[in-house]
Structure 1
Amino acid sequence: MCLDGITAVPPTHVATVVTYLEMREPPPPGPRREPLALAPIGPDLVRYRALYRAVGLPWLWFGRAGLTDAALCAILGDPDVEALALVEDGRDVGLLELDWRQPGEAELVYFGLVPEAVGRGVGRRLMEEALRRAFARPIGRFWVHTCTFDHPGAIDFYRRSGFRPYARAIEVAPDPRLTGDLPRDAAGQIPLLGE
C-alpha cells in the first residue's frame, strides 16, 4: 500500500535504496605505490564465505549469504569473475570481486574491508587496484551499486574514485536474519522487526 509516497514493507522484510554508479573511462593514474598483497580466492568457498561475512555482516550483505555451495562455486569458478582477498599480516582484511561476464563492461560486485581496516587509506589503494584490473580488459563501462545499508561514506568514496551515479532503485527482500542466512544480531543499526 502506498500513501503519499510511502510504501509499507512487511515486518519480515528489509528495504533499502540502491544507487548505481558507473564510469566510462579510467581516471588518470595516481602516484605509483607499493603493490597490495592480494590473493586469488578461486573456488575456496570457506575462505570466501568467511571474508564476505567479516566484511559484509555490519552492512547486512546478504547477496551471497543464501547461495548454495554449487551456485557460489559456479560464480567464483567462472573465468570472467575474479575474487581477491586483501591480506595484511597473514590475515584477510579486504574483499575485491570483479565480474566481466557482460561483454564490454565490468562490475565491481563486492568491495570492502573488515571494520578494523577502515579509515587507514587501504580502501583507496584497493580501489586503485580495482580500477587498474577492470580497465586492463577492453571495457567501455565499469559499474557498481551500493545501498543505504552500506557504509555511510560509500557513495562519496565511489564518486571520489571517478564513478558517477546514474540510477536509483528500492530493493525489498526477506530479512536475512529471519531466513537464517545471517545471524540475528547482524547490522544492529537496521532494526529487526519480524520476530
Structure 2
Amino acid sequence: MSTTSNPPLPFGYSPIPAGKIVNAVTCLEMLAPPPARPDPASAASLRLDRWHKPASDKYRALYRRVGEDWMWFSRLIMPEDKLRAILDDPKVEVSVLRDADKDLGLLELDFRDDGQCELAFFGLVPEAIGNGAGRFMMNRALASAWSRPITRFWVHTCHFDHPGAPVFYQRSGFRPYTMMVEVCDDPRLSGIIPRTASPHVPLIESNA
C-alpha cells in the first residue's frame, strides 16, 4: 500500500458528519516467510480450492456472506468492469475455503505489484469462525504467497474487522508498520448492506 504525504491529523477529537463512518486502519507486513505452523486437528476436513475467474454475482454473494458483519462493501459498489479486471487478472488468485459442499471462506492474493503480494481479502463465514478454519486458510495463504518470487507480503486490517484479526495476523508473522484513518459514506444508509449489519459500528443518520 502506498501512502501519500498529507497534512497530519489534528490531535484530539475531530467531528465526523452524520452518515459517515471513520475507520482506523492498521497495515502489516512480513519480509520473509515465517516458521510453519501446524494445521489444527479440527480442520482435517477442510480444503482450499482455487476459484478461477469467478462469476461476479457468485463472488459478490460469498464476499457478502463473509464480510457483511465486518463492513466489507468495496467490492459490492465496484463497477462491473473494474471488478472483472481484478477477477480475470492472472496475477490475482481467488480461492474458496470448503468443507464438503459448504463454502466457508474467501481468500484473495494479489500479485500485481512486482515483488510483493497483498493479502487482499481473508475471511470466514460466521459459522466457521473460531474452529481452526482461519489458521488452516492462513497456512495455505502463506505457502502460496511465498512460493512466488516476492520479498514482501502485506495486509491491512481495521477496527471494523473481527477484534481478533490484528493479533491473528501478528501470530501469523505479520508486523504492523503504519496506521491510517479512512472516512467514507456509511453503506447501510444507502442499502448496500443491511441496516442491521456490523452492529458494533454505530449508525448515525443525523446530527440533530
Same fold judged by TM-score > 0.5?
A: yes
User: Deviation digits for residues 26-84 of structure 1, max 9, x if unmatched?
Assistant: 11223478672424152311221111000100011112111122221111111110111
- 8 A contact 2:39–2:139 mirrored in 1: no
- 8 A contact 2:115–2:150 mirrored in 1: yes
Deviation at 1:16, TM superposition (A): 1.0
Inter-CA distance 96–49: structure 2 relative to 1 (3 Å threshold): same
Instruction: Pick the aligned partner of 1:153 from 157, 160, 164.
Output: 164
Q: What does 1:137-176 align with in structure 2 at a 5 Å threshold? A: 137-176=148-187
- The TM-score with structure 1 as length reference comes to 0.93
> Match of 1:110?
121
In the alignment, the residues of structure 1 paired with residue 154 and residue 10 of structure 2 have an alpha-carbon distance, to the nearest angstrom, of 33
Instruction: Pick the aligned partner of 2:12 from 2, 5, 18.
Output: 5
In the alignment, the residues of structure 2 paired with residue 179 and residue 45 of structure 1 have an alpha-carbon distance, to the nearest angstrom, of 21
In the alignment, the residues of structure 1 paired with residue 121 and residue 99 of structure 2 have an alpha-carbon distance, to the nearest angstrom, of 19
Q: What does 1:48-127 align with in structure 2 at a 5 Å threshold? A: 48-127=59-138
In the alignment, the residues of structure 2 paired with residue 3 and residue 105 of structure 1 have an alpha-carbon distance, to the nearest angstrom, of 33
Kindly provide the amino acid, as one letter, of the partner of residue 79 in structure 2: T
- 8 A contact 1:41–1:85 mirrored in 2: no
Deviation at 1:89, TM superposition (A): 2.5
- 8 A contact 2:39–2:136 mirrored in 1: no
In the alignment, the residues of structure 2 paired with residue 176 and residue 6 of structure 1 have an alpha-carbon distance, to the nearest angstrom, of 23
Inter-CA distance 137–11: structure 2 relative to 1 (3 Å threshold): same
In the alignment, the residues of structure 2 paired with residue 3 and residue 134 of structure 1 have an alpha-carbon distance, to the nearest angstrom, of 38
Aligned CA RMSD, in angstroms, stands at 1.8
- 8 A contact 1:18–1:171 mirrored in 2: yes
Inter-CA distance 132–3: structure 2 relative to 1 (3 Å threshold): closer
Deviation at 1:135, TM superposition (A): 0.7
- The TM-score with structure 2 as length reference comes to 0.88
Inter-CA distance 41–176: structure 2 relative to 1 (3 Å threshold): farther
In structure 2, the gaps of 5 or more residues are: 1-8
Q: Which moved more, 1:154-163 or 1:45-54?
A: 45-54
- 8 A contact 1:41–1:47 mirrored in 2: no
Q: Secondary structure at the match of 2:47?
A: coil
In the alignment, the residues of structure 1 paired with residue 10 and residue 173 of structure 2 have an alpha-carbon distance, to the nearest angstrom, of 37
Q: Secondary structure at the match of 2:108?
A: strand
> Match of 1:178?
189
In the alignment, the residues of structure 1 paired with residue 10 and residue 25 of structure 2 have an alpha-carbon distance, to the nearest angstrom, of 21
User: Identity rate of aligned residues, in percent?
Assistant: 49
Instruction: Pick the aligned partner of 2:26 from 19, 38, 44.
Output: 19
- 8 A contact 2:91–2:110 mirrored in 1: yes
In structure 1, the gaps of 5 or more residues are: none
Deviation at 1:100, TM superposition (A): 0.5
